[in-house]
Amino acid sequence: MGPGLATAVRYLRQPLNRFKQYDKSNLRPDVMAGLSVAVVYLPQSIAFALIAELPPIMGIYTAIIGSIMAALWGSSNHMINGPTNAISLLVAASLTNFLQPNSLEFVIAAGLMAVMAGVFQLVLGLARLGMLINFVSHSVIVGFAAGAGMLIAINQIEPLLGLSLPDARMIDNLWAILLNLPAVHLWTLILGLVTMVVVIFIQRFYPRLPAILLGIVSASVILFLLNLDQAGVTVIGEIPASLPPLASLPVLDLELIARLSTGALAMGAIGLVQTSAIARSLATQSGQHLDSNQEFVGQGMANIASGLFSGYGTGASFSVSAVNSKGGARTSLAAISAGLFILIGMFAIGSLTVYLPRAAMAGVLLVVAYGMIDWAEMKRILTGTRSDAIIMLVTLLGTVFLSIEFAVLAGILLSFAVYIMKTSAPRVVPVLPDENYRHLTHQPDRDPCPQMAILEIKGDLYFGAVNHIEEEILAYAENNPSQRYLLIRMSRVNQCDFSGIHMLENIVRTYRDNGGDVFLVRVAGPIRQLMEATGCHHYIGESNILAEDDAISHIFRHVLDPAICIYECPVRAFKECQNLPKQVDWISIPTSRVVPRESVNTISAGELWQWLHLTDEQLIKGRQPDGQPKQKNGFAAELMARLGSLTEREVGQRPLIIDVREPREFHRGHIPGAELIPLRELLVDQIELPRDRPIVFVCQSGRRSRRAAYAWRQEEEMNVMILDGGIQAWEAAGLLEAVEIFVGAEMDES
């Protein structure tokens, strides 16, 4: 069994896991919480069915099936599933376009639509695509809920007033209601208003009581006592009490399936978004860990079962779930208990609904509709980011004025579009060490290092973002041409694809073509593995992928040109700059020109040491210091052959070693016999150097000496070279002892 199939089986076996892990001590609180939910949800389910233009019994069936199935296959311990106002409105809006409400075809289509939405949700869950819901903006839910609340309120004005008007668009419907106000049925309006007052009063002052149930009971008692059903007040009628029957759905009717597909997709999507938001909210309070994929499976199973057993689309209800949580529910058995109690309640009160005024249900739905509009949240979104405000307004206006399923899908697609826009244009910001040199932060008011830029990429390197990132980096490089070196901080880069690899290689190539280089820090493990697998790691070089704590120090000591640091740069951007002997205020030398690496001859530390220790006699006879003969005039011949410009006479002379560092660097250690001439004096003052003697320029790492050798070679026809790697190479070759002995002697003399 493959890992994917094993995971799918684990999701489908959730009911077994539920019962195996159940603690019997939770039974009583779960059952009592389920009873509280049933008292609230039974009348609500009837009201929601009326929103969907379906028989009231379908709302009860949906509450029974939805709560039980979602509890068995879901992951939340407190969430209650069943009919909701948003999904009910979505069903009505999707089906009334081509079917007659309350007709047999309408009822069958509602059940088939629920099955289609459930299959969509189930496939997403089994495919472990639960994370997709994270990309849908919260503004979609707020906008859709507000629009749905407005539509529900408008649709309930007619039954509240006791009017009977033909179906029309929202504006036409409102206009028709205004024209027919003289025909309002007074007792119907009174019952509706009484219900609203009771519900609002109890919710405000006695929130623990079942406000909706008591409001409906109040209106029903008035109707019964005054025989208002005989006075023209419309009632719901008797609800047939029976177990949810298996529906005969036209699952092979491809034409009907095609017409329902948009609505089913919207129902599945909005159901998942609502469910995830409610589940996360409840989990935050309870501390429960949720599995979004398992929740998708639970929603899918609930919708499929509801459609097959004479119900319609289900979703999570926040208000009822809150009742369940506050009622002391500990596990999902509370939701199962609620479904069973609703079933019992249906048998108990089914005959009493002949006294249930339709206006009372309209009053309940008007209160519910108003509660759907979260004015405070809408205000926060409008004063927040522009993208969230646009998503909310598009969804709201689309829900009110266009088809609801189009509005839902448009809001979801707009969320994805905003996400893609944001992730495809991540910020690339220059950063510098803070005042304590501990963290790299964006400090636009500080002057950067003129040689090296540090850029932080705040986003992933995937195909949709790499063009923007590359353009940002190259634009920065063009605006700061002196910064030939680049340090890229990748702490915010969590993902990288092959397009990202190509982008990194292009950036490195561009900087190297301009005589610089690129270094990386904070490269995540998976990205480093991808770089190694694609050869990018080899192209950039292991030495260019650094640990962040040592990166600036390494680049400062081995890469940056100290001549620029000392003579041109007044900035002390890094910790390593603080002790530099800055000379910019009283001398100016031409250091900005890039010196080609191959422009001057180099001599290694070993060769220079050997040359310094040869005698004239050994050079003439072509012998090494140990007296052994060597072919082709020995070491001298090899040195002349490699450098190409040395004559035998010049090799026979001792080279003049000129140290171009600053005095305090020189006094810390230098090559015995070296003469100190700082670079600024060498390039500016009238310094006389011998023309008939080879000269070896020395500095700390080879960069200042290369600049000195290049300048003297251009201006004077002299045989100059540099110590490759400078004093660092001299010490690395094991010649540190010579430096230490000389320094000690110098100190004794002083």
Query: Count of residues for the chain?
Result: 750
Taking 80 as the threshold, does the pLDDT of residue 190 lie above it?
A: yes
Taking 80 as the threshold, does the pLDDT of residue 166 lie above it?
A: no
Taking 60 as the threshold, does the pLDDT of residue 39 lie above it?
A: yes
CA distances in angstroms from 135 to 289, 516, 648, listed in the order given? 20, 40, 76
Comparing 451-465, 486-500, 583-597, which segment has the lowest mean pLDDT? 583-597
Crossing angle of the two packed helices 498-513 and 466-479, in degrees rounded to 10: 10
Mean pLDDT of all residues in the chain?
84
Give which of 470, 455, 478 is closest to 501, Cα–Cα: 470
Q: Name the residue type at position 549.
A: D
pLDDT band at 648 (very low <50, low <70, confident <90, very high): low
689 vs 684, which has greater pLDDT?
689
User: Could you read off the pLDDT of 205-225 as tens digits, one per residue?
Assistant: 988 888 888 888 999 999 999
For residue 311, how many other CB atoms are within 10 A of its CB?
31
What is the separation of C-alpha 230 from the centre of its chain, rounded to a whole number of angstroms?
62
CA distances in angstroms from 311 to 12, 70, 73, 343, listed in the order given? 22, 14, 18, 13
Q: Strand 720-723's sheet: what is its strand order?
A: 601-603, 720-723, 695-698, 656-659, 675-676
User: For 515, left (φ over 0), alpha (ψ -120 to 50), or beta?
Assistant: left
Those residues whose C-beta lies under 8 Å from the C-beta of residue 193, and which sit 6 or more positions away, are 363
Place of tokens 């002995």: 741
In the chain, pLDDT over 90 holds for what percent of residues?
Answer: 32
pLDDT confidence of residue 750 = 29
Taking 90 as the threshold, does the pLDDT of residue 299 lie above it?
A: yes
For residue 544, how many other CB atoms are within 10 A of its CB?
18
pLDDT confidence of residue 596 = 65
Per DSSP, what are the bridge partners of residue 659? Answer: 676, 698
Per DSSP, what are the bridge partners of residue 487? Answer: 454, 519
454 vs 571, which has greater pLDDT?
454
Comparing 280-284, 587-591, 671-675, which segment has the lowest mean pLDDT? 587-591
**Domain residue ranges in the chain:** 3-15+27-417, 427-577, 597-749
What distance in Å separates the CA atoms of residue 521 and residue 494, rounded to the nearest whole number?
Answer: 13
Those residues whose C-beta lies under 8 Å from the C-beta of residue 106, and which sit 6 or more positions away, are 53, 54, 95, 99, 100
Comparing 15-19, 444-448, 490-494, 587-591, which segment has the lowest mean pLDDT? 587-591
Comparing 258-267, 457-466, 509-518, 733-742, which segment has the lowest mean pLDDT? 733-742
User: Could you read off the pLDDT of 114-130 as tens digits, one per residue?
Assistant: 999 999 999 999 988 87
Output the six-digit token pair for 400: 């009110």
| 577 CB burial (10 A radius; 0-12, 13-18, 19+) | middle
Q: Name the residue type at position 561.
A: D
Comparing 338-352, 483-497, 522-536, 555-569, which segment has the lowest mean pLDDT? 555-569
Give which of 488, 522, 482 is closest to 504, Cα–Cα: 488
Give which of 332, 259, 327 is closest to 68, Cα–Cα: 332
For residue 120, how many other CB atoms are within 10 A of its CB?
22
What Rg value do the Cα atoms of the chain yield, rounded?
Answer: 41
Check: CB of residue 701 under 8 Å from CB of residue 728: yes
170 vs 661, which has greater pLDDT?
661
User: Could you read off the pLDDT of 233-257 as tens digits, one per residue?
Assistant: 888 888 888 899 999 999 889 999 9
Give which of 341, 428, 490, 488 is closest to 36, Cα–Cα: 341
pLDDT confidence of residue 284 = 67
Per DSSP, what are the bridge partners of residue 452? Answer: 485
What distance in Å separates the CA atoms of residue 553 and residue 531, rounded to the nearest whole number?
Answer: 25
pLDDT confidence of residue 588 = 43
Q: Name the residue type at position 458.
A: K
What distance in Å separates the CA atoms of residue 669 and residue 667, rounded to the nearest whole number?
Answer: 5
In the chain, pLDDT over 70 holds for what percent of residues?
Answer: 88
Eight-state DSSP code of residue 732: I
Can you list the alpha helix ranges (DSSP code H) found in 74-210?
Answer: 85-95, 104-126, 138-161, 170-179, 186-205
Comparing 532-546, 552-566, 605-619, which segment has the lowest mean pLDDT? 605-619
Check: CB of residue 733 under 8 Å from CB of residue 725: no
CA distances in angstroms from 531 to 266, 489, 491, 506, listed in the order given? 41, 16, 16, 14
Residues belonging to the active site = 699
pLDDT confidence of residue 334 = 94
Comparing 545-559, 565-579, 633-647, which segment has the lowest mean pLDDT? 633-647
Check: CB of residue 710 under 8 Å from CB of residue 679: no
What distance in Å separates the CA atoms of residue 445 and residue 217, rounded to the nearest whole number?
Answer: 69
What distance in Å separates the CA atoms of residue 680 and residue 667, rounded to the nearest whole number?
Answer: 17
Taking 60 as the threshold, does the pLDDT of residue 591 lie above it?
A: no
206 vs 594, which has greater pLDDT?
206
Eight-state DSSP code of residue 698: E
CA distances in angstroms from 50 to 60, 126, 150, 163, listed in the order given? 11, 33, 16, 16
Give the three-class secondary structure for 496: strand
- What is the phi/psi pair of residue 120, to 5°? -60, -45
pLDDT band at 193 (very low <50, low <70, confident <90, very high): very high
User: Could you read off the pLDDT of 325-352 as tens digits, one per residue?
Assistant: 877 889 999 999 999 999 999 988 877 8
Q: Given this structure, which CATH class describes domain 597-749?
A: alpha beta
Topology agreement, domain 427-577 and domain 597-749: no
Taking 50 as the threshold, does the pLDDT of residue 743 lie above it?
A: no
What distance in Å separates the CA atoms of residue 443 and residue 432, rounded to the nearest whole number?
Answer: 7
What distance in Å separates the CA atoms of residue 449 and residue 1, rounded to the nearest whole number?
Answer: 58
What distance in Å separates the CA atoms of residue 474 and residue 518, rounded to the nearest whole number?
Answer: 12
Place of tokens 């119900």: 311
- According to DSSP, the β-strands at 440-441 and 432-433 are antiparallel
pLDDT band at 595 (very low <50, low <70, confident <90, very high): low
pLDDT confidence of residue 298 = 94
592 vs 133, which has greater pLDDT?
133
CATH 3.40.190.150 fits domain 427-577: no
Comparing 76-85, 157-166, 672-681, which segment has the lowest mean pLDDT? 157-166
Crossing angle of the two packed helices 85-95 and 27-51, in degrees rounded to 10: 30
pLDDT confidence of residue 564 = 75
What is the separation of C-alpha 146 from the centre of its chain, rounded to a whole number of angstroms?
27
| 130 CB burial (10 A radius; 0-12, 13-18, 19+) | buried
pLDDT confidence of residue 615 = 61
What distance in Å separates the CA atoms of residue 506 and residue 498, rounded to the nearest whole number?
Answer: 12
CA distances in angstroms from 349 to 181, 191, 214, 217, 354, listed in the order given? 34, 20, 14, 11, 10
Place of tokens 């010649």: 735
Comparing 204-213, 516-525, 732-741, which segment has the lowest mean pLDDT? 732-741
Check: CB of residue 338 under 8 Å from CB of residue 327: no
Taking 60 as the threshold, does the pLDDT of residue 748 lie above it?
A: no
pLDDT band at 650 (very low <50, low <70, confident <90, very high): low
Per DSSP, what are the bridge partners of residue 177? Answer: none
pLDDT confidence of residue 170 = 66
What distance in Å separates the CA atoms of residue 268 and residue 463, rounded to the nearest whole number?
Answer: 30
For residue 402, how many other CB atoms are within 10 A of its CB?
14
